[in-house]
Structure 1
Amino acid sequence: MQTRAKGKRTDGPARAETVARAALALVDSGGLESLTMRRLATSLDVQLPTIYRLFDGKQALLDAMAETILSGVPAEIAVDEDAGWAKRVTAFAHGLRKTLLTQRDGARIVGGNYAAQQHTHTLAETLLGGLHDAGFPAESAIWAGTTVFCYVLGEVLEQQGATGNEVEVLANSLRGNDFPRLAKMPVEQFVAFDARFEFGLHVVVSGLRTALAELT
């Protein structure tokens, strides 16, 4: 994985985390597009240079926001160390999904983030290290872990992007005879996010189990 250690300055982790949490609160109220450095400074009743003394720019702030979101995941993946790797991966995926869904635009904030910070490394250590211990070679453990991580991100991104009228839009778009097989399908299942997540996660874990058997 790539890393980005530069950007966040060392004015003190507690203060930086306070600002990151304030930024996440702004996103919760207005969406990611509403977040600007100036609006953040106003919400904290500080001057704009104060924000820039902590973060070099918006990307550095987003890195800290992603790190703050991910800090909520480790408690969700506490699984008996004697449990099999598949159960641990499943618990990780559920914990990550739950954490991302707690934050508006959580998947957008975390997706594509490679900040080399504590909680990011903690998750990588838990997921990739566990897969490596299970028998995946180091290279395959990285790919297996990123497959799980990106699956969760993609599903949450879809869910957080839903507006609530998808079923109606889909049903209306399938009227007529242009897409006869789609028209016969229960389109509401496209937005049955809990059920489709469980199905997809089962497919991913089953695929990893097959891959592990071929590698060992």
Structure 2
Amino acid sequence: MRRLADALGVQAGALYRYFATKQDLLTAMAERMVGGVADAAGPAGDGDWSQRVARLARALRAALLAHRDGARVFAGTHSTGPNTLGFADSLVGVLREAGFGDGEAARALYSVANFTVGHTLEEQAALRPGDGGPTDAGVLHEAVMAGTYPHLAATLPTLTSTDFTAHFEFGLRLLLDGLRALQR
């Protein structure tokens, strides 16, 4: 809160006039980040349900990637503002319109949102310069090659790839294929 106040040129106490706690501030930031994401679903009939769900997931990822540590901020909150609830309602609505039951649609919301936020959290951590953490491709490569992990060694080009869009799309496709199988 002090760093934010310094950046805004105000006293830290002035922020508490608007946000009672740091968590309230983070929740407001998370809510602001996802503004407009719900619109990605498009109107009913604009593509099949899986295309609409994929657009929502991609829009959430893009919104979080647009902000430094966006996924980390969003993951640490439980916003019930109109942007967050609008996203959730759009996704659940697409699935209900496609014939999924209420419970299935709700669980699919959790699955899609948690996958998207989790993937983006890891993506942003891996792209953080100079972190040197376990997501650093060089560190992973050395650890795998120093041990006896033949299966990991064979897949190192993919494991250390920074093509996060390809990784995301693969996971999203698995989720959608699983939902398609459930729908039958």
Q: TM-score, normalised by structure 2?
A: 0.87
Q: How does 1:82-97 map to 2 (within 5 A)?
A: 82=45, 83-97=47-61
- Residue in 2 that maps onto 1:34: none
Gaps of 5+ in 2: none
Question: How much does 1:44 deviate?
Answer: 1.7
Q: C-alpha deviations, 1:34-60, integer Å up to 9, x for none?
A: xxx122122222232221011110000
- Residue in 1 that maps onto 2:98: 134
Q: C-alpha deviations, 1:14-71, integer Å up to 9, x for none?
A: xxxxxxxxxxxxxxxxxxxxxxx12212222223222101111000000000001011
Alignment pair present for 1:207 and 2:151: no
Count residues with an aligned counterpart: 175
Mapped partners of 1:78, 1:177: distance in 2: 46
Decide which of 139, 155, 158 is 1:189's aligned counterpart. Answer: 158
- Residue in 2 that maps onto 1:102: 66
- Residue in 1 that maps onto 2:42: 79
Mapped partners of 2:146, 2:5: distance in 1: 53
Mapped partners of 1:134, 1:78: distance in 2: 13
Contact 1:159 1:193 (8 Å CA) reproduced: yes
Mapped partners of 1:134, 1:156: distance in 2: 27
What SS does structure 2 have at the residue aligned with 1:39?
Answer: helix
Residue 56 and residue 154 in structure 1: after superposition, are their counterparts in 2 closer, same or farther (change >3 A)? same
Q: What amino acid is aligned across from residue 113 of structure 1 in structure 2?
A: T
- Residue in 2 that maps onto 1:33: none
Q: What amino acid is aligned across from residue 126 of structure 1 in structure 2?
A: S
What SS does structure 2 have at the residue aligned with 1:100?
Answer: helix
Alignment pair present for 1:148 and 2:118: no
Mapped partners of 1:72, 1:79: distance in 2: 11
Moved more, 55-64 or 38-47: 38-47
Residue 177 and residue 116 in structure 1: after superposition, are their counterparts in 2 closer, same or farther (change >3 A)? closer
Q: TM-score, normalised by structure 1?
A: 0.75
Q: What amino acid is aligned across from residue 79 of structure 1 in structure 2?
A: G
Mapped partners of 2:114, 2:175: distance in 1: 11
User: For the aligned residues, what is the CA RMSD?
Assistant: 1.8
Question: How much does 1:74 deviate?
Answer: 3.3
Contact 2:31 2:83 (8 Å CA) reproduced: yes
Paired-residue identity, %: 38
What SS does structure 2 have at the residue aligned with 1:54?
Answer: coil
